[in-house]
Structure 1
Amino acid sequence: MRADRRIRVGLIGYGYSGRTFHAPLIGSVADLDLRLVGSGAPARVLADLPDVAVVADPVAVATSEAVDLVVIATPNDTHAPLAQAALAAGKHVVVDKPFTLDLAEARSLADAARRGGRLLRVFHNRRWDSDYLTIRQAITEGRVGRVRHFESHFDRFRPEVRDRWREGPGPGSGIWYDLGPHLVDQALQLFGLPERVSAHLARLRPGAQADDWAHAVLDYPGLRVVLHASMLVAGGSPRFLVHGEAGSLVKHRSDIQEQQLLAGLKPGAAGWGEDPDGPEIHDATGRVARAPALAGDQRGFYRAIAEALARAPVDQTGALEAVRVMACIEAALTAARTGIAVGLTLAPEERGP
């Protein structure tokens, strides 16, 4: 028996996501111990994390006897094979979004996790963003009545195409694979599975090699959910718009935790996740009120992982949620290609109650 019962973590990938999000958030959770990093740039890793071991081979991390939990923060087309290797080695697994490239890969991973009794989750850290938490609370409290129209935007202003795999022509690139999973996951958390998905994807910037504009609509009975992402929005686009039978809600600004991490702020430091941008609530008479925004705290993702691993048997809900998100991502890709609204090809057991 090990004297230190903390969960030993191996992180594969130390690019933008691994360095900006995963390593700081893992390091902020007392029950997690980052032991091993897979990276081809060991000097960069050790400059930030001098006490970890670094290896170049990602499979070596996925199968290492020195770790219990494998976190995969690598290019999207490597997610499924690395996760399969880790699950086959008996590891618990966290995969950065998107979970996989398609629904078939998602199902294969979920089946492997279920057979092995391993935890499998997608890094949906945006469930702990201030903007989403604030909107969810307002909807739950009935501040605008029954919701009939919901819009969620991830809009940025990056007019120059950058030389990175996320914007290249390879598999799993483009804004829908990059930001679509967050948009879809939040919508499913709020409203459940839609009946149909329609979508349009486009390349709007000169020289774009992958979609940099995405617009999807999820159809529910009596509700339409609009998910939008663009690289050419300098301002004026609210993060959330919610229209209900009793009024409307507008949340203008986005969560600031990513900017705080980039600035070097440690998770949990003073001001962490605080959001001064309370939502506007418009009632039926035209009056506008302000409500306070909840603070965000993406440490909640890895705290939930640690709590889940402390229980037995391992809850497989996270793997099923990953499959459902991937079904929506794939349906949107098909709808954008065909111009026809597409239903979700999920089995009854995948849909849940």
Structure 2
Amino acid sequence: MQIINTALCSFGMSGKVFHAPFIDLHPGFKLTGAWERSKKLIQEAYPGVKSYTSLEEILEDETVDLVVVNTPNVTHYDYTKKALLAGKNVVVEKPFTNTIAEAEELKELSVKQNKLLSVYHNRRYDSDFSLVRQVVHDKLLGDIVEAEIHFDRFNKQLSPKAHKEVPGIGTGVLYDLGAHLIDQALQLFSFPEAVFADIRTLRPESQVDDYFEVLLYYPSLRVRVKSSYIVKEPLPAYSLHGTKGSFLKSRADVQEADLIAGKKPSYSGWGIEPASEEGLLHAEKNGTDIKEKLAAPAGNYVGYYDDLYKAFTSGKPVPVTADDGIRIIKIIEAAFKSNNERKVIDLTE
């Protein structure tokens, strides 16, 4: 069996929660270690791995096949470029980069170097989104005319991670949570024709955007993606309305909470939502008005690494391509332009 030796560029929350457990679990990957700057913790969690002292040490390690760039957004372009030039395959955390130009350059470089390059959009493997995608695919709502995707929180405090609160390109909730929501919208409905956006800062001490509403225009459909840090009682995370009915679903994937609590993704009940979080379908079915609850399939972030392994071994596309990442950054850049100019931005030009 081919083994993909994998190194992380950090072992903070991203490394501990979203990557290391799944790399360690997957038989096709081997966790070689992580770059640790101050706290040296990875060897306590994963005995026998390395604690790298620098990115250069990772890149000089000839045994490393794959580098996971899971560091602050501002570093994504630079670290990914260095890794590709060093002959490494790369997984880069979302958002792919801060600009379209950076993203397109990295795509071209990966092709030139003949290396795999993928963006880590793990929310494609959430239980709630998997159910929504199933509802859309099965056309349970007929022709969808309106959809709304939320990712709301109630948190008036600034992030303890200073890099998330410094004004500048790549920071703020649109680049953070917005990248996930836009990716999900594109997975469901493809690339839109135009964008209109309202982006604001609500928390008194914040210097970065912590609220956005982005409207995506399609020929016969409007999709709204929205996030706010000042929502005490959340609305449904997914609201879809079509010619046959409506579907409502909460954001209820349990994986992140379980991972933070120290649970491992190997137990039999992994990723299963509480029954109380089932989605509500109210629609016409075979000429009859029905109202029923739908259970979500189990969420499973290891699915990302399953799909990535197939790209290494079977020549299949990586689970989230550079083009996927580019399209998301195009919409984010257009959203900021729309907000600044207070107008709809055409994406077909």
Which bin holds the TM-score, normalised by the shorter protein?
A: over 0.9
CA shift in 2, pair 1:312/1:247, >3 Å: closer
CA shift in 2, pair 1:315/1:139, >3 Å: closer
CA distance in 2, matches of 1:34, 1:89: 19
CA shift in 2, pair 1:59/1:314, >3 Å: farther
Tell me which residue corresponds to 1:311. 314
SS of equivalent residue, structure 2 residue 179: helix
Aligned partner (choices 78, 81, 86) of residue 84 of structure 1: 81
Tell me which residue corresponds to 1:279. 279
Aligned partner (choices 68, 73, 77) of residue 70 of structure 2: 73
Contact 1:201 1:211 in 2 (8 A): yes
Q: CA deviation at 1:13?
A: 1.2
CA shift in 2, pair 1:41/1:317, >3 Å: closer
Contact 2:307 2:318 in 1 (8 A): no
Tell me which residue corresponds to 2:36. 39
Query: Are 1:114 and 2:117 matched, yes or no?
Result: no
Q: CA deviation at 1:15?
A: 1.7
Letter in 2 for 1:206: P
Q: CA deviation at 1:63?
A: 4.5
Contact 1:117 1:313 in 2 (8 A): no
Alpha-carbon deviations, 1:43-87, whole Å to 9, x = none? 222222222111221233245312001101101010001100111
CA distance in 1, matches of 2:231, 2:289: 28
SS of equivalent residue, structure 1 residue 198: strand
- The range that moved more, 15-24 or 74-83, is 15-24
Query: Over the residues paired in the alignment, what is the CA RMSD in angstroms?
Result: 1.9
CA distance in 2, matches of 1:331, 1:220: 15
Alpha-carbon deviations, 1:175-212, whole Å to 9, x = none? 11111111111111111110011111111011011111
SS of equivalent residue, structure 1 residue 43: coil
CA distance in 2, matches of 1:223, 1:345: 16
Tell me which residue corresponds to 2:135. 138
Query: Are 1:341 and 2:340 matched, yes or no?
Result: no
Alpha-carbon deviations, 1:151-175, whole Å to 9, x = none? 1111111121233222332441111
1:1-353 to 2 correspondence within 5 Å? Answer: 5-164=2-161, 165-275=163-273, 276=275, 277-283=277-283, 287-312=290-315, 318-344=321-347
Q: Percent of aligned positions with the same letter in both sequences?
A: 38
Letter in 1 for 2:340: R
Contact 1:10 1:37 in 2 (8 A): yes
Q: Which runs of 5+ in 1 are unaligned?
A: 347-353
Contact 1:106 1:323 in 2 (8 A): yes
Q: How many residues align?
A: 343
Contact 2:172 2:210 in 1 (8 A): yes
Contact 1:63 1:91 in 2 (8 A): no
SS of equivalent residue, structure 1 residue 155: coil
Alpha-carbon deviations, 1:82-137, whole Å to 9, x = none? 10011111111000011000100000000001112211110011111001000010
Letter in 1 for 2:322: A
CA distance in 1, matches of 2:65, 2:348: 33
Letter in 2 for 1:290: K
